[in-house]
Chain A
Amino acid sequence: MTPLAAPPAMHLLSGARTLFYKEVLRFWKVSFQTVAAPVLTAVLYLLIFGHALGDKVQPFEGIGYTSFLVPGLVMMSVLQNAFANSSSSLIQSKISGNLVFLLVTPLSHWAWFVAYVGASVVRGVAVGVGVLAVTIWFAPLHLAQPVWIGVFTLLGAVLMGALGLIAGLWAEKFDQIATFQNFVIMPMTFLSGVFYSVTSLPTPWQVASHLNPFFYVVDGFRFGFFGVSDVSPWVSLGVVAAGLLAVCGLCLRLLRIGYKIRY
């Protein structure tokens, strides 16, 4: 009945694929909470801010405020949900103790990284597409440079998926994840130029905005829609890629040493 040899060595991706599938299935089983709710939140932002400011603000020449707002809301949703996916999954598994099922497997730190971050990208993109699909009815949009849209969506989601993984490894209770989310991620995404063009800000706030890495993700993403942005998309790409390398490097290092998960 039972062969006694150890199961043969497997390809890196076969275990990672299962973990990726499990992570996607996890959020999909509660998709009302993980996908539909953030889409509704973004639509409410669009309706309220669009109604309040639509006639008074024109961030770029020839582009109405509501149209300007849509890409920002889409990217903010991608970023926040990519972060939420990996961080909440890991902290739930740590606290409930079921992370042990994963810790006893032969999966490498690369497999963990690819699977958790991959699932975060899927959730971020699913929410982003949902927001776009609904908000597009409220404001005319065109795709000036679609490649940039894809590039910044992917880079932003990977960045936040990896950052969520780091937060999940670091945190020992839900409170710490909530703190990270509410006092770091939320303000940085809100203040990244989602609701305004940073050129409209006083100089000190412009400087502060340029120190916020999420500003470059939003600005580069918006360039893909309008062909205009606050800074060159190449500058944004450079800043985001550098941040991505740093965050992914740290994340892989923490996974390799089993930071706060293997004692």
Chain B
Amino acid sequence: MHVFNPGAANLAVSFRGVSKRYSSARGSVQALDDVSFDIAAGEFFGLLGPNGAGKTTLISILAGLSRASAGQVLVHGHDVVADYAAARRSLGIVPQELVFDPFFTVRETLQIQSGYFGARADPRANDAWIDELLENLGLADKADANTRQLSGGMKRRVLVAQALVHRPPVIVLDEPTAGVDVELRQTLWQFIARLNKEGHTVLLTTHYLEEAEALCGRLAMLKQGRVVALDRTSALLAGRASTMLRFKLDTPLPLTLQANARVTGRIVQIKTRNAAEVESVLATLRAAGCQPEDLEIGRADLEDVFLEIMHGVPAHGLSQSPMQVSA
């Protein structure tokens, strides 16, 4: 079995034909279907998809929490199964679930996690790094508090610190900002962006698409266990250079516009390709007696691209090739 692939060593993570099928008495579910893509060292990479698309399954296979039914995953050239120890030393995983060990303080938790990776061989250097993590993640005054006494946001920070405590070159964040406040998000992203600038590879899954758009240089989108888009973030946005007409409306939207509209409360967004289409939409609204407020025209954002891809592309219609790949 393949253990170390020197050719893949400059790739931080490499997924090769990864499939995962869960079987139970009630039948089987294909969670991942022939997923293949690479993440170069130093990239800030986003993995997007709706609930149940297979993001967490893919990360679980990468982390060794789950086993692929077929295919191979390499971390800096090390197979996550055959050479799991080397692969896991390179990975820092922030799990999606808000879990903690109620027996220990924050500092004990971080020291123990370091020890699992052999990082306590030099306790002074390790303690200095732990202090730096506590400071950067706003945990310094909670160092000696028991983890069960912390708020949800603080527990999330501890999870991030635990993932970084052995200084892994690859950081995997599985929805790290789900349900956390603005302050933590800002603190977290500043710190992660800094680590990425220093050369750490970051793999992020999130439902906050504005975060992915702002942070990720490249994105993969999963749908029903298959990669349906894989490209640079800028290319994905440019490839769908449509404009969005946004306005607020208190009356029902005319039926003829509903098919292409995204409605969130009072806010209506309609994709348009050119000025003529904008005029046509406005004419339809006028004819229906609608009075749009706060009218603006903007470029499509990642959410528009995401929805277009998720609703427009059948996962099994793509065969082997994702939508677009730019070198």
Mask: chain A, 91-120; 1 = CB below 8 Å from B; 0 = not: 001001110111111111000000000000
**From B93, B119, B120, contact of A104 by CB (8 A):** B93
Question: What are the 10 tightest A-B residue pairs by CB atom distance, in nearest-first order?
Answer: A18-B115, A10-B118, A106-B85, A105-B116, A97-B99, A6-B90, A6-B89, A106-B88, A4-B169, A14-B118
A residues within 8 A CB of B108? 25
Mask: chain A, 223-263; 1 = CB below 8 Å from B; 0 = not: 00000000000000000000000000000000000100011
List the B residue with the shortest CB-CB distance to A15: B116
| CB-based A-B contact count at 8 angstroms | 116
**From B119, B121, B162, B168, contact of A101 by CB (8 A):** B162
Pairwise interchain contact B118-A15, C-beta atoms closer than 8 A:
yes
B104 CB, min distance to chain A CBs, angstroms: 8
A residues within 8 A CB of B301? none
Question: How many angstroms between the C-alpha atoms of A19 and B117 in the bound complex?
Answer: 11
Of the listed stretches B63-71, B210-218, B236-244, name the one at the interface; the rest are far from the partner chain. B63-71
Using A18-B116, A101-B101 as known contacts, list a sample of 20 further A-B pairs with CB atoms less than 8 Å apart, ordered by residue number in A.
Answer: A1-B198, A4-B200, A8-B118, A9-B118, A10-B118, A14-B118, A15-B115, A15-B118, A19-B115, A21-B112, A22-B112, A25-B108, A100-B93, A100-B95, A103-B65, A104-B63, A104-B64, A262-B66, A263-B22, A263-B60
Q: Evaluate whether A18 and B120 lie within 8 angstroms (CB atoms) in the complex, with A104-B65, A262-B65, A263-B66 already known.
A: yes
Pairwise interchain contact B117-A98, C-beta atoms closer than 8 A:
no
Pairwise interchain contact B121-A108, C-beta atoms closer than 8 A:
no
Pairwise interchain contact B112-A18, C-beta atoms closer than 8 A:
yes
Question: How many angstroms between the C-alpha atoms of A101 and B159 in the bound complex?
Answer: 9
- Interface status of A17 (Cβ within 8 A of chain B): yes
Pairwise interchain contact B95-A15, C-beta atoms closer than 8 A:
no
**From B65, B95, B99, B115, contact of A96 by CB (8 A):** B99
Q: Evaluate whether A21 and B115 lie within 8 angstroms (CB atoms) in the complex, with A14-B120, A262-B64 already known.
A: yes
A236 CB, min distance to chain B CBs, angstroms: 37
Pairwise interchain contact B85-A9, C-beta atoms closer than 8 A:
yes
- Interface status of A5 (Cβ within 8 A of chain B): yes
Pairwise interchain contact B88-A105, C-beta atoms closer than 8 A:
yes
Question: How many angstroms between the C-alpha atoms of A25 and B120 in the bound complex?
Answer: 17
Pairwise interchain contact B118-A25, C-beta atoms closer than 8 A:
no
Residues of chain B touching chain A, judged by Cβ–Cβ distance below 8 Å, are 22, 60, 63-67, 76, 84-86, 88-91, 93, 95, 97, 99-104, 108, 112-121, 132, 162, 166-169, 195, 198-200
B109 CB, min distance to chain A CBs, angstroms: 8
**From A6, A22, A98, A107, contact of B86 by CB (8 A):** A6
Q: Which of A1-32 contact B (CB under 8 A)?
A: 1-11, 14-15, 17-19, 21-22, 25-26, 29-30
Question: Could you say which of B22, B64, B118 has the most chain A C-beta atoms within 10 Å of its C-beta?
Answer: B118
Pairwise interchain contact B64-A29, C-beta atoms closer than 8 A:
no
List the A residue with the shortest CB-CB distance to B132: A1
Question: How many angstroms between the C-alpha atoms of A230 and B164 in the bound complex?
Answer: 57
Can you list 30 contacts pairing A with B, beta carbon distance less than 8 Å? A2-B167, A2-B198, A2-B200, A4-B199, A4-B200, A7-B166, A9-B85, A9-B89, A11-B118, A14-B121, A15-B117, A18-B114, A19-B115, A21-B112, A22-B104, A22-B112, A98-B100, A100-B93, A100-B95, A101-B113, A101-B162, A102-B116, A103-B65, A104-B65, A104-B93, A107-B116, A258-B67, A262-B64, A262-B66, A263-B60
**From B113, B117, B169, contact of A10 by CB (8 A):** B117
A residues within 8 A CB of B64? 103-104, 262
Question: Could you say which of B63, B85, B119 has the most chain A C-beta atoms within 10 Å of its C-beta?
Answer: B85
A184 CB, min distance to chain B CBs, angstroms: 26
Q: Evaluate whether A7 and B101 lie within 8 angstroms (CB atoms) in the complex, with A2-B198, A103-B64, A104-B65 already known.
A: no
Question: How many angstroms between the C-alpha atoms of A96 and B98 in the bound complex?
Answer: 10
Q: Which of A76-99 contact B (CB under 8 A)?
A: 93, 96-98
